[in-house]
Amino acid sequence: MNDFNKLCFIGAGNMCEALLAGIISSKFFPVENIILSDIRKQRLKYLEEKYDVKTTMDNKEAVKVSDIIFFSVKPQNISSVLSEVGEILKPNKMVISIAVGIPTYFIESYMKEEVPVIRVMPNTPALFQSAISVLSKGKYANDKHLNFARELLSCVGDVDILPEKLQNAAAAINGCGPAYFFYFIESLVDAGISVGLNKDIAKKLAVQTMEGSVKMLKESGKSPTELRRMVTSPGGTTIAALEQFEKGAIRYHILKAIKAATNRAEELSKQLMK
């Protein structure tokens, strides 16, 4: 794996920038060994000036000079990118893709040779080096490729490895999950305002309470159920609130939401690969 010394990103959006910042900060790759490719000239100019990184608008150029090719394009654009560069990808290179819903076999089908492909589902907290990413290997990738990708993605947070068949299910939690938590915070803020708090204090209370609760969950060694019970006294204020959650069947609707997100990911995969 020491042969993997040069990295390119095809697609220079927010997730690319998050990964770029983490990689440069950790010194995983020297900045002079990284090149970004995108169709947006102004975006490339911004990233070049901010990170002192090389850029190009020629995907083939970026692929030819790189050992690791990171596809950070939208799923609907992956076919056109693969049609452009698939033929010049060789087995001594490695492809890492964060195109949501796109399986490794679809990417492999555009290549003439047995190129190792790793599929990744990161999430937006990567922007603050606090992501949880899920990796799966394709047909031609081995454990060394997988471990290298794990080290690379560790620059922006935690990493787990799953069978590829579980990628869409994982995405329903880690990929979509930040939006669920933001939605809950929004709801807590609105509820705080409804009982007399101003917006700023309601937001501060909600955000810090969530942050502290997550810290307790990560560091106490206790389960979510145990920690919930610690806060819930018989006849108290917490149980009065939780009873309203139960009346609204919140747990049931969370289960339904995760299944809906998983099913939608499957549907999108099928649509994009037609």
Domain-embedded: residue 136:
yes
For residues 221 and 199, membership in a common domain is answered with yes
- Choosing from 165, 187, 203, the residue where a domain stops is 165
For residues 181 and 213, membership in a common domain is answered with yes
Domain-embedded: residue 172:
no
Q: Which whole number is the average pLDDT over 174-179? A: 95
pLDDT in tens, 23-34: 998 888 899 999
> What is the extent of the structural domain holding 242?
177-269
Please, what is the average pLDDT of the chain? 94
For residues 160 and 137, membership in a common domain is answered with yes
For residues 31 and 135, membership in a common domain is answered with yes
For residues 147 and 236, membership in a common domain is answered with no
For residues 185 and 153, membership in a common domain is answered with no
pLDDT in tens, 69-127: 999 998 889 999 999 999 999 999 999 999 988 999 999 999 999 999 999 999 999 98
* pLDDT confidence tier of residue 272, bands split at 50, 70 and 90: confident
What is the pLDDT at residue 210? 97
What is the pLDDT at residue 2? 55
Domain-embedded: residue 1:
no
The CATH code of the domain that includes 28 is 3.40.50.720
For residues 142 and 30, membership in a common domain is answered with yes
Residue 129 has φ and ψ, to the nearest 5°, of 55, 35
Beta bridge partners of 96: 70, 118
Give me the number of domains the chain comprises: 2
Residue carrying the six token digits 């995108």: 38
Report CA dihedral (126, 131, 132, 136) to the nearest 10 degrees.
20
Structure tokens at 92: 């001594």
What is the pLDDT at residue 100? 86
pLDDT of 140 above 70: yes
For residues 208 and 263, membership in a common domain is answered with yes
- Choosing from 108, 141, 165, the residue where a domain stops is 165
The CATH code of the domain that includes 190 is 1.10.3730.10
Domain-embedded: residue 170:
no
Rounded to 5 degrees, what angle do the CA atoms 124, 125, 129 make? 125
For residues 49 and 141, membership in a common domain is answered with yes
For residues 134 and 224, membership in a common domain is answered with no
For residues 153 and 18, membership in a common domain is answered with yes
What is the pLDDT at residue 90? 94
User: Which has the closest alpha carbon to 137: 123, 149, 122, 126?
Assistant: 149
- Choosing from 130, 165, 200, the residue where a domain stops is 165
What is the pLDDT at residue 1? 46
Q: Which whole number is the average pLDDT over 231-249? A: 95
Beta strand 94-97 with 117-121 is parallel
User: Which has the closest alpha carbon to 97: 85, 180, 266?
Assistant: 85
For residues 255 and 192, membership in a common domain is answered with yes
Domain-embedded: residue 71:
yes
Of all residues in the chain, the percent with pLDDT exceeding 70 is 99
d(CA 185, CA 189) in angstroms, rounded, equals: 6
What is the pLDDT at residue 160? 97
